[in-house]
Structure 1
Amino acid sequence: MTTLLPRTGTRPPGRGPRTAARRRERLTALGMVSPAVLLLLVFFVIPVVLAFALAFTSARLISPTPAHFVGLRNFTLLFQDPVFFRSLLNTALFAAVVVPVQAGLALCLALLVNTKVGGTNFFRTVYFVPVVTSMVVISIVWMFLYQKTGLVNHLIDTFSLGHLHGPDWLNDPSTALPAIIFMSVWQGVGFHMVIWLSGLQTIPADLHEAASIDGADRWARFRHVTWPGLRATRTFVLITITIDALRLFTQVNVMTQGGPLDSTTTVVYQAVHAGYTQQQTAYASAISLVFFVLVLTVSLIQRFLTREKD
């Protein structure tokens, strides 16, 4: 009878292959995540850090003089610039109109296309087409529509039987910003209609049926069933519309270049104009830093006001 002695210098069964498999999983996960992390570092983290740093220097886009630290001089000049306060006012007016109008109109369209009748898919597509179209293309098209002899003024003249004549929309300081607001609402309403629609379809149909059995009319069902069920969707829609409205740039850059008389200048447009056209990189960074603080503050306030209360 022989006695089997335990082997020495051997690993416990299963530990070696399991450790190697875990190591391979970690390497695979790291390889899959690294492209996204690299892109975030190159196109987000590094530019944000540079913008914060350059705001306190004298850097210019092209200059033989090396940049040096100037402290808060750029911010002092910024808060003494009347164009900056005009751009703040224009941005605030744009957001104050676009946010409620676009959100309300998108909700109305979502309620219309949420019914089970024929042709709703066609209207969903029609409403969403402007969203997938380039904003540059849309802005160019609307530039022609807003001309003195454009389609908009032709329709005004036709429906008023020649008694009313439309202005030169984009060259009049009193109508340039409202014209951009109208076009922006039309372009973005389809996207938020889809968001509202997804929220409507998450509300159980049993709640509406129970409310109908209790004798609730359409308005009562909307007020006590639909609107409370859209709490999370409402928060998302309001925050996304607000951020999009505050970063208004493309429409202004294509249609008016901030004019006439700075009536359509926005904070983002002023930052880009100062950084690339005027080559004042440090000043543009200061504008961007102030804009970041404003957007963050508005988003936090909206999130606080729309939070779920116990």
Structure 2
Amino acid sequence: MKTVEPAHTAPSGRDRAPDLTTASAATARPARRGREWLHGLLMSAPAVAGLIAFVGVPFCYAVVLSFYNVRLGSPLEPTFFGVEQYRRLFTDPDLSGPFLRALLNNLTFAVVVVPLQTGLALGLAILLNRKLKAIGLFRSFFFMPVVFPMALVAVIWRLILARSEQGMLNSALDAVSFGNWGAFDWLGDGLTAMASVIVLSVWQGVGFQMVILLAGLQQIPDERYEAAQLDRASRWQQFRHVTLPGIRGTLVFVALLTSVLSFRVFDQVYVLVKGGGLDEDAARTVMYQAVTTAFDQNNIGQASAITVVFFLIVVVLTLIQRRIVRPDNED
């Protein structure tokens, strides 16, 4: 009688020899990630060091000073105030009134400038994203105001918006109206003071956002526009379904950057208030309030409290805006 030998069965997963290729790949993956993390840390070290030295350390020092009564040039030793500077900032009418007005002006400036400047920058970038002769000259022309210091830009616009009839804007309006336009105080009037600051700020900064958006437009493949044309898409449909999705991440970055820069408005306000007759109450900003408190009133402790509160407000608003306009490729 023949004995039936058991059929050969494949070794189970427990008895199977380990796959050396898979094991080596799994071991090499964490090592590769560790090297990439180390390289990224080394490459970002100069920027991180500069951020800590010029932002982190001064901010921490400002937090410390905000708890003291520190007077610039005073022979008296600083005295510990606790949260008194913060309490006065929100309860003392002499301090809370100007601070809240400056904060409202800052918010108004940001609400107007961010969409206006971003929209103008996008329009200019689309116009300059063409293959024309001397296109580089036109791009340089629109970017030129960015190179000028803000103090110089404020001086130029002070001449344009001067109250007298020799002011360039008043002279132009007087010529157009055949001498019926009187000398209007664009900077001194409370209704047009902040609008004047907004106009000169947008004129000076729109070229920078334009260059960033132009770089984003040039990254969109031409095949997408060719496919849209084959589908008989109109210019508006191409802009809506090809251009905007292609630069969504760039638009988010530009909006966030413009928001942060809009809260830092100071130079133009200071120059125009001190030398141009700008209405101080209508155009004061939080940065202007902090600087004048520190160097005009010699109150370093109160100025430090203003900067700390303003920093926290800007951080919260930036996080909210980033949450709302988060790109699709982010988790």
Q: TM-score, normalised by structure 1?
A: 0.85
Matched, 1:94 2:113: no
1:306 Cα deviation after fit? 1.2
- Could you tell me whether the CA contact under 8 Å between 2:150 and 2:268 is conserved in 1? yes
Match of 2:129 in 1: 114
Whole-angstrom CA distance in 2 between matches of 1:165 and 1:181: 23
1:38-68, CA deviations, whole angstroms, 9 ceiling, x for partnerless residues?
6555433321111111111112222222223
Task: Tell me the equivalent position of 2:224.
Answer: 207
Name the CA shift for 1:157/1:87 in 2 (closer, same or farther; >3 Å). Answer: same
Report matched runs for 1:195-274 at 5 Å. 195-257=212-274, 259-274=278-293
Structure 2 equivalent of residue 184 of structure 1: 201
Please give the alpha-carbon distance, in whole angstroms, between the structure 1 residues aligned to 2:183 and 2:112.
22
- The aligned runs of 1:63-212 (5 Å cut-off) are 63-80=74-91, 81-147=96-162, 148=164, 149-212=166-229
Q: After superposition, give the CA deviation of every residue in 1:154-182 in whole Å (9 maximum; x if it has no partner).
A: 11111222333351111222211111111
> What is the CA-CA distance between 1:251 and the residue it aligns to?
0.1
The CA distance in 2 between the partners of 1:191 and 1:207, in whole Å, is: 27
Code of the aligned partner of 1:187: Q
Letter in 1 for 2:204: Q
Query: Retained in 1: the 8 A contact 2:272–2:278?
Result: no
Instruction: Give the root-mean-square deviation of aligned CA atoms.
Output: 2.2
The one-letter code of the counterpart of 1:227 is L
Partner of 2:20: none
Residue 69 of structure 2 corresponds to residue 52 of structure 1: no
| Letter paired with 2:79 | H
User: Aligned partner of 2:250: which letter?
Assistant: T
Greater shift after overlay, 103-112 or 62-71?
62-71
Letter in 2 for 1:103: T
Distance in 2 (CA, whole Å) between partners of 1:244 and 1:278 is: 26
Alpha-carbon distance, 1:275 to partner: 1.0
Aligned residues of 1:156 and 1:166 also touching (Cα < 8 A): no
2:131 maps to amino acid: K
Larger radius of gyration: 2
Deviation at 1:201, TM superposition (A): 0.7
Where structure 2 has 5 or more consecutive residues not aligned to the other structure, the ranges are 1-37
Between the aligned partners of 2:245 and 2:97, the Cα distance in structure 1 is 43
Structure 1 residue identity aligned to 2:300: T
How many angstroms apart in 2 are the aligned matches of 1:36 and 1:230?
26
Unaligned runs of 5+ in 1: 1-25
Instruction: Give the % identical residues.
Output: 44
Match of 1:305 among 321, 324, 329: 324
Q: What is the rounded CA distance, in whole Å, between the counterparts of 2:257 and 2:45 in structure 1? A: 28
Would you say 1:289 and 2:308 are equivalent positions?
Answer: yes
- Offset from partner CA, 1:18-47 (integer Å, 9 cap, x none): xxxxxxxx9xx99x9987676555433321
> Is this contact kept in 1: 2:59–2:308, CA < 8 A?
no
Offset at 1:261?
A: 4.8
Which TM-score applies when normalising by structure 2? 0.80
Judge conservation of contact 1:259–1:265 (CA < 8 Å) in 2.
no
Number of equivalences:
282
Opposite residue 244 of structure 2, the aligned amino acid is W
Say which is worse superposed, 48-57 or 114-123, in terms of deviation: 114-123
Contact 1:57-1:70 within 8 A present in 2 as well: yes
Following superposition, the deviation at residue 85 of structure 1 comes to 0.9
1:114 Cα offset (Å): 0.2
